[in-house]
């Protein structure tokens, strides 16, 4: 699967807009007036998660909890999609442009 922008255009770098296009639905779960869990459902069926929480339930704010949990989920999506894009570029032979000499080709043992 290729990472594409609207208009079916291949990308060589990720943007927040591209990541947001991949998310089709967001659900939240709340636990013990302390923790918010965000479930970000992506077009391909993957569900990225994000968490936020407080130590003292008196400090819990549901709106702030949702915002922080969504931000955490988006950070996780960025990581996964960044890996996917790097793999695509590598397979296309474009990685040589960014690779630092032979170190990028050396397998980890």
Residue 12 lies in a domain: yes
| pLDDT computed for residue 6 by the predictor | 58
In a domain, 64, yes or no: yes
User: Is 98 inside a domain boundary?
Assistant: no
pLDDT tens, the chain, 109 aa long = 566 555 556 677 889 998 999 999 999 999 999 999 999 999 999 999 999 999 999 999 999 999 999 999 999 999 999 998 888 888 877 655 555 555 555 566 6
- pLDDT attached to residue 12: 78
Structurally, the chain folds into a number of domains equal to 1
CA dihedral 70, 21, 78, 104 (to 10 degrees): 180
* Local structure of 10: helix, strand or coil: strand
Question: 55: domain CATH number?
Answer: 3.30.160.240
pLDDT number for residue 101: 55
107 within a domain of the structure (yes/no) = no
Q: What domain range includes position 49?
A: 4-92
Q: Is 51 exposed, middle or buried (0-12, 13-18, 19+ CB in 10 A)?
A: middle
Residue 97's CB is within 10 A of a number of other CB atoms, namely 8
């Amino acid at each position: 699967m290729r990472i594409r922008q609207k208009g079916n255009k291949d990308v060589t770098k990720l943007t927040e807009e591209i990541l947001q296009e991949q998310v089709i639905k967001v659900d939240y779960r709340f636990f013990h007036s302390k923790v918010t869990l965000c479930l970000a459902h992506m077009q391909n069926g993957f569900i990225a998660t994000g968490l936020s929480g407080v130590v003292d339930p008196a400090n819990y704010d549901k709106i702030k909890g949702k915002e922080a949990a969504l931000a955490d989920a988006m950070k996780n999506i960025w990581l996964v999609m960044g890996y996917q894009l790097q793999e695509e570029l590598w397979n296309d032979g474009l990685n040589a442009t960014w690779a630092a000499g032979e170190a990028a080709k050396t397998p980890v043992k």
